Amino acid sequence: QQQVKQSPQSLIVQKGGISIINCAYENTAFDYFPWYQQFPGKGPALLIAIRPDVSEKKEGRFTISFNKSAKQFSLHIMDSQPGDSATYFCAASFGNEKLTFGTGTRLTIIP
């Protein structure tokens, strides 16, 4: 019940396109949903996060869509650029419990 399922495992998107990564969870107690971006040889960096009282949050080209009833949330990257090529992890937590990470999506943006 603590799992967060992430898909796809890898994704190739053309430059300028929209990249979409999906996550699903079971534990209805989760109330914090961050997305992390990790470049090779670097630590993860918080990209954007959402709480379940809103259905969408946008920061620049990055948008989280949240569907509480379906227990799903997704990351949309608009106008994807080669510099967005990285591994993306969704995560979830509640209270002061540790972050439960998804399995990761390796995103490649091709010219």
Partner 1 sequence: DTEVTQTPKHLVMGMTNKKSLKCEQHMGHRAMYWYKQKAKKPPELMFVYSYEKLSINESVPSRFSPECPNSSLLNLHLHALQPEDSALYLCASSQGSYTYNEQFFGPGTRLTVL
Can you give the binding site for partner 1, defined by CB under 8 A?
32, 34, 41-46, 49, 87, 89, 91, 93, 95-99, 101-104, 106
Q: Which is nearer to partner 1, 66 or 89 (CB)?
A: 89
Both tokens assigned to 92: 């979830």
Nearer to partner 1, 16 or 28 (CB): 28
Nearer to partner 1, 26 or 97 (CB): 97
Element (H, E) at 53: none
Kindly write down the DSSP assignment for every residue of 13-43, as one continuous string: EETTS-EEEEEEE--TT--BEEEEEE-TTS-
Report, in Å, the least distance between residue 16 CB and partner 1: 27
Token duo for residue 44: 């993860």
CB of 64 to partner 1, least distance (A): 15
Q: What is the DSSP letter of 83?
A: G
Nearer to partner 1, 19 or 101 (CB): 101
Please report how close the Cβ of residue 52 comes to partner 1 at its closest, in angstroms: 13
